[in-house]
Amino acid sequence: MVSLKTELCGIELDNPLIPASGTFGFGYEFAEIYDINCLGSFSFKGTTKDARFGNPTPRIAECENAMINSVGLQNPGVENVIKNELPKLRNCFHKPVMANVSGFSVEEYVYTVEKLDKEDCIGWFEVNVSCPNVHGGGMSFGTSPEAASEVTRACRAVTKKPLIIKLSPNVTDIVSIAKACEESGADGISLINTLLGMKIDLKTKKPVIANKMGGFSGPAIKPVAIRMVYQVYEAVKIPIVGGGGIASAEDVIEMMLAGASAVEIGAQNLVDPYACPKIIAELPRVMEKYGIKNLKDIIGGAH
């Protein structure tokens, strides 16, 4: 018998699969089609201090072996998430869940984490540091070690739950940013978020996305994700949640060999809503094919 179990920041997972934030809602939407308790966990929809309508439409563009989205963090705001979404989540998911948090200032990150910290269903915080820092010249929190450190330290001060910082891949040196987060109190690193992409309609001769550019994701970005997870694994001692283009059991194993303790699946959930249970069911066969008895044993095995 093979073992799919893994561990993330001291919490055991039945398997490493975690649907990524933004592609899985608050869980109950997918619970209508299968028992989501088969998952290791999931990262719920990115939550901000205030409700956000999101970006104008069109927000989605299909590309070769990938997609571009510019949803714009549409969510009901943290108060409504606690009041309306988490009770429905608890009814269908009985494991610790990952709370994905975003903000437009350090104060907003802190406010949202502090509010959600009281919720017993939340096992980890996944802090998304790739939103515009409107208090700092429009720079992105995730593009400099200093800004990422500031958010990490501030959130660390208001929660004792594991703090996983989700980094932007749109940088020249992912390692220095990951190390800065570790030094500032992060318990884990999540990478990668989407790359920045664009598509132009040849008929209209204009960008397909109303926002012109958006997050580029899907199988086409997997080599970038593998490379960044590999680099960060060599530089930090805290666990990594790896994601980016994962669409099969083989992809999961490759990501774990690069250094991931758990694996997020994003765009593939939109292509096939049953992607995660299919991959979980396929993992034992693929593990046996490659002589793997315990998934924990292969974390960072490519180094």
What is the reported pLDDT for 142?
A: 84
pLDDT at 73 over 60: yes
Residue 289, domain extent: 6-298
- Measured CA to CA, the distance from residue 140 to residue 144 in angstroms comes to 8
Q: Please report whether residue 79 resides in a domain.
A: yes
Q: Please report whether residue 1 resides in a domain.
A: no
* 8 A C-beta contact, residue 287 and residue 253: yes
Q: Please tell me the total count of domains within the chain.
A: 1
**Assigned token pair, 83:** 């009041």
Q: Please report whether residue 290 resides in a domain.
A: yes
Give me the active site residues, please. 131
Q: Is 161 helix (H, G, I), strand (E, B) or coil?
A: coil
Q: Please report whether residue 187 resides in a domain.
A: yes
What is the reported pLDDT for 224?
A: 98
**Assigned token pair, 229:** 């997870």
* 8 A C-beta contact, residue 144 and residue 106: no
Instruction: Output the average pLDDT for the chain.
Output: 95
What is the reported pLDDT for 134?
A: 34
* pTM to 2 decimal places: 0.95
Q: Please report whether residue 218 resides in a domain.
A: yes
E strands present in 80-140: 97-101, 122-128
pLDDT at 2 over 60: yes
What is the reported pLDDT for 101?
A: 96
**Assigned token pair, 239:** 């666990």
Phi, psi of 172 (to 5 degrees): -90, -25
What is the reported pLDDT for 131?
A: 56
pLDDT at 133 over 90: no
Residue 26, domain CATH: 3.20.20.70
Q: Please report whether residue 67 resides in a domain.
A: yes
pLDDT tens profile 222-255: 999 999 999 999 999 999 999 999 999 999 999 9
Residue type, 260: A
Whether omega for the bond prior to residue 192 falls within 30 degrees of 0, making it cis, is: yes
Phi, psi of 127 (to 5 degrees): -95, 115
What is the reported pLDDT for 25?
A: 97
Most confident of 50-64, 82-96, 120-134: 82-96
Q: Please report whether residue 112 resides in a domain.
A: yes
What is the reported pLDDT for 139?
A: 46
Q: Please report whether residue 303 resides in a domain.
A: no
pLDDT tens profile 14-24: 999 999 999 99
User: Can you spell out the DSSP letters for 3-69?
Assistant: B--EEETTEEESSSEEEPTTSSTTSHHHHTTS-GGGSS--EEEEE-SS-B--PPSP-EEEETTEEEE
Mean local confidence (pLDDT), 13-34:
97
In the chain, what percentage of residues exceed pLDDT 90? 92
* 8 A C-beta contact, residue 178 and residue 236: yes
